[in-house]
């Protein structure tokens, strides 16, 4: 990938506001498809996207790689592609049902006591030698923090106070769990992946494309806004 062209593309979409946001999502979907292509030929493969919201990524996969893509969501939404209702800790599929399983921006919303079980469920429904992909926003990076961004560094009480008073938000939750957040760091994600017996094939800096930074312990926690983990069963 031409890194300068990548940055220029992201910058152009950012200037467009909300309309550019959806164009950027499709562009980043293309980037991910290309990256996964290093490890799996996606054409005709069976893919599960866990927590893929309206199923937009599955729709792109279906159209561009003719994948048998299935979206999994626990809530009722205005879906644009084939979707099954369910949760990651109890996947409603048989062992070895998929060639590729995706968990993008979901792990930080899974309660701590269900994280390892969820990753093991992902592994269970993968075929032998199948590929898994996990994306997280490391909690201490500037663009993470969810509703508390950019004040997550101060701990929940102060972050909530600053978010409400400075940013004009209306956060009433008493703790992170009430916000549906169980933050993940790059290091903690690595530990869960290893406990679930996945083999790590590649770690990536999804937005910045500075993949070497994923090998630097402190830098990867604060400089990477979206970290990707490509795994094999």
137 within some domain: yes
* Domain span holding position 93: 3-144+183-232
Number of structural domains in the chain? 1
Query: Is residue 129 assigned to a domain?
Result: yes
Inside any domain, residue 59:
yes
Helix %, strand %, coil % for the chain, to 5?
Answer: 40, 20, 40
CB 104 within 8 A of CB 74: no
What Å distances lie between residue 42 and 36, 69, 169, CA to CA? 8, 10, 42
- What's the whole-model pTM score? 0.94
Query: Which tens digits make up the pLDDT trace of 51-70?
Result: 999 999 999 999 999 999 99
Residue holding tokens 């869960």? Answer: 192
170 lies in some domain: no
Distance, in Å, from the CA atom of 35 to the CA atom of 94, rounded to the nearest integer, reads 27
The CATH number linked to 206 is: 3.40.50.150
Per-residue tens of pLDDT for the chain, all 233 residues: 688 899 999 889 888 887 788 888 889 999 999 999 999 999 999 999 999 999 999 999 999 999 999 999 998 888 999 999 999 999 999 999 999 999 999 999 999 999 999 999 999 999 999 999 999 999 999 889 999 999 999 999 999 999 999 999 999 999 999 999 999 999 999 999 999 999 999 999 999 999 999 999 999 999 999 999 999 99
Q: Hey, is 167 helix, strand or coil?
A: coil
In a domain, 165, yes or no: no
Please state whether beta strands 98-104 and 126-136 pair in parallel, antiparallel, or not at all (unpaired).
parallel
Whether 46 maps to a domain, the answer reads: yes
Q: For residue 156, count other CB atoms closer than 10 A to its CB.
A: 19
How distant, in Å, are the alpha carbons of 23, 31, 183, 187, 222 from that of 191? Answer: 34, 26, 14, 6, 18
Is 176 a member of any domain?
Answer: no
């Amino acid at each position: 990938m031409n890194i300068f062209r990548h940055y220029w593309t992201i910058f152009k979409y950012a200037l467009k506001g909300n309309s550019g946001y959806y164009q950027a999502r499709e562009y980043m979907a293309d980037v991910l498809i290309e990256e996964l292509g290093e490890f799996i030929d996606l054409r005709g493969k069976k893919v599960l996207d866990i927590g893929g919201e309206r199923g937009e990524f599955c729709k792109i996969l279906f159209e561009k790689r003719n994948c048998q893509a299935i979206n999994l969501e626990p809530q009722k939404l205005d879906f644009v592609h084939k979707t099954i209702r369910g949760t990651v800790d109890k996947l409603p599929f048989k062992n070895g049902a998929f060639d590729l399983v995706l968990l993008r921006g979901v792990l930080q919303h899974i309660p701590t006591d269900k994280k390892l079980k969820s990753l093991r469920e992902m592994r269970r429904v993968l075929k032998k030698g199948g590929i898994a992909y996990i994306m997280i926003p490391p909690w201490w990076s500037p663009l993470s923090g969810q509703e508390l961004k950019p004040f997550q560094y101060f701990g929940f009480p102060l972050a909530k106070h600053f978010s409400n008073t400075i940013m004009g938000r209306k956060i009433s939750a008493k703790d992170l769990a009430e916000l549906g957040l169980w933050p993940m760091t790059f290091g903690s994600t690595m530990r869960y992946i290893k406990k679930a017996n996945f083999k790590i094939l590649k770690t990536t800096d999804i937005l910045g494309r500075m993949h070497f930074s994923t090998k630097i312990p402190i830098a990867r926690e604060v400089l990477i806004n979206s970290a990707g983990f490509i795994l094999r069963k």
